[in-house]
């Protein structure tokens, strides 16, 4: 088999809620370190691609002078939101650099808020950009609807422009992606027994269990993608690993019954690539202390994402 010559940038962001390493009940920050071990994602990608560059973003707990303008008060040291901001500023730079050099960014991050840096990074591309959001949760709260102020629950709403306007503008390249250019896929926890219903709707077109049950996964996603293709030709793909059913992978303590299979996620990536140029893909929130199957499930999907992106490169208006 001839190796694919398209360059791939495998990028790790080993932080969760601004912190690195394990905290009580949560080792998601460690997930990227596990997945980027040579025998896991790097080996899987190098079996298919001849040019794979690996980059782990480290020492990203505090801003440097270029990021805070030489005034530490603008991004206070030790503040959780400040740490998250610094990490997304760094991620945006690495992703945009990869795209500018013709490489496909495939990212593993310990936190879903890495999407801010991803959106900033893909902002280097000209023209309108859409987003496909695979997740068990809508992540569409705002500071006005959230009961705990957890930024990880306000992600798609921030990207769509409904909250945190000045904060998101600190991420280089960040451009809002309006709801008409977002598809939310999965969003199943609220339908699971004991699931949290949440207080906000999902962003954009919703492909959730009732829709999938009525239309089928491929028909529902295909129709949504066809509509979206009239609005943009470039896509950022976000895959929170908890979009998959626990029978496939219990990626974290946020998993819930009723999720997608890994085969459906792979099919979704192929369907996206037939209609759009995939600018970048980010896989988030794998806790290696919960399920040892993680690398064997996620690494092949990372390869699938890279293959789909490589096929999609010519699809740009």
> Is 266 within a domain?
yes
- At residue 2 the predicted structure's pLDDT band, cuts being 50, 70 and 90, is low
Calculate helix-pair angle for 262-275, 294-312, nearest 10 degrees.
10
Q: Are 298 and 107 in contact (CB under 8 A)?
A: no
Average pLDDT of the chain, as a whole number: 95
Q: What percent of the chain has pLDDT over 70?
A: 97
Mean pLDDT of 31-48: 98
> Is 1 within a domain?
no
Mean pLDDT of 17-23: 94
> Is 3 within a domain?
no
> Is 20 within a domain?
yes
> Is 224 within a domain?
yes
Task: Report the DSSP pairing between strands 8-13 and 205-207.
Answer: unpaired
**For residue 78, is pLDDT > 60?**
yes
Mean pLDDT of 59-77: 94
**For residue 189, is pLDDT > 60?**
yes
Give the pLDDT confidence of 269-288 residue by residue, as tens digits. Answer: 999 999 999 999 999 999 99
Mean pLDDT of 153-165: 97
Q: How far apart are CA 200 and CA 141, in angstroms?
A: 5
Q: Which of 240, 262, 256 is nearest to 108 (CA)?
A: 240
Window from 110-119, 145-154, 209-218, 234-243 with minimum mean pLDDT: 145-154
Q: Are 263 and 302 in contact (CB under 8 A)?
A: no
> Is 168 within a domain?
yes
CA distances for 153 relative to 11, 149, 150, angstroms: 23, 8, 6
> Is 2 within a domain?
no
Q: Are 43 and 302 in contact (CB under 8 A)?
A: no
Q: How many CB atoms lie within 10 A of CB 291?
A: 17
Angle at 182 between CA 178 and CA 184, to 5 degrees: 140
- The predicted pLDDT at position 317 comes to 46
Structural domain range at position 12: 8-312
Q: CATH number, domain at 94?
A: 3.40.800.10
- The predicted pLDDT at position 316 comes to 59
> Is 232 within a domain?
yes
Task: Report the DSSP pairing between strands 182-186 and 8-13.
Answer: unpaired
**For residue 147, is pLDDT > 90?**
no
Q: How far apart are CA 146 and CA 203, in angstroms?
A: 16
Q: Are 130 and 232 in contact (CB under 8 A)?
A: yes
**For residue 1, is pLDDT > 50?**
no
Give the pLDDT confidence of 239-270 residue by residue, as tens digits. Answer: 999 999 999 999 999 999 999 999 999 999 99
- At residue 53 the predicted structure's pLDDT band, cuts being 50, 70 and 90, is very high
- At residue 197 the predicted structure's pLDDT band, cuts being 50, 70 and 90, is low
- The predicted pLDDT at position 173 comes to 98
Give the pLDDT confidence of 84-104 residue by residue, as tens digits. Answer: 999 999 999 999 999 999 999
- The predicted pLDDT at position 95 comes to 98
- The predicted pLDDT at position 313 comes to 87
- The predicted pLDDT at position 152 comes to 94
As for how many domains the chain has, the answer is 1
């Amino acid at each position: 088999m001839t190796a694919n010559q398209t360059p791939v940038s495998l990028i790790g962001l080993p932080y969760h809620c601004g912190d690195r390493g394990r905290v009580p009940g949560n080792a998601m920050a460690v997930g990227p370190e596990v997945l980027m071990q040579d025998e896991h994602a790097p080996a899987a990608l190098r079996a298919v691609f001849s040019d794979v560059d690996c980059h782990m973003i480290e020492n990203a707990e505090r801003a440097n002078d270029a990021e805070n303008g030489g005034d530490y008060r603008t991004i206070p040291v030790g503040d959780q939101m400040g740490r998250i901001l610094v990490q997304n500023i760094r991620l945006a730079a690495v992703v945009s650099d990869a795209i500018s050099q013709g490489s496909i960014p495939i990212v593993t991050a310990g936190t879903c808020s890495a999407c801010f840096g991803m959106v900033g990074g893909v902002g280097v591309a000209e023209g309108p950009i859409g987003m496909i959001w695979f997740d068990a949760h809508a992540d569409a709260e705002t500071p006005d609807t959230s009961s705990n102020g957890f930024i990880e629950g306000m992600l798609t709403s921030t990207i769509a422009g409904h909250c945190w306007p000045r904060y998101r503008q600190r991420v280089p390249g960040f451009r809002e992606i309006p709801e008409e250019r977002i598809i939310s896929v999965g969003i199943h926890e609220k339908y699971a027994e004991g699931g949290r219903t949440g207080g906000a709707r999902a962003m954009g077109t919703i492909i959730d269990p009732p829709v999938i049950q009525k239309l089928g996964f491929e028909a529902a996603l295909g129709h949504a993608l066809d509509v979206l293709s009239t609005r943009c030709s470039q896509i950022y793909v976000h895959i929170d690993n908890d979009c998959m059913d626990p029978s496939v992978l219990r990626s974290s303590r946020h998993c819930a019954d009723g999720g997608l299979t890994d085969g459906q996620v792979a099919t979704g990536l192929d369907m996206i690539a037939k209609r759009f140029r995939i600018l970048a893909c980010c896989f988030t929130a794998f806790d290696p202390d919960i399920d040892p199957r993680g690398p064997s499930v996620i690494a092949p999907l990372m390869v699938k994402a890279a293959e789909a992106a490589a096929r999609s490169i010519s699809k740009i208006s």
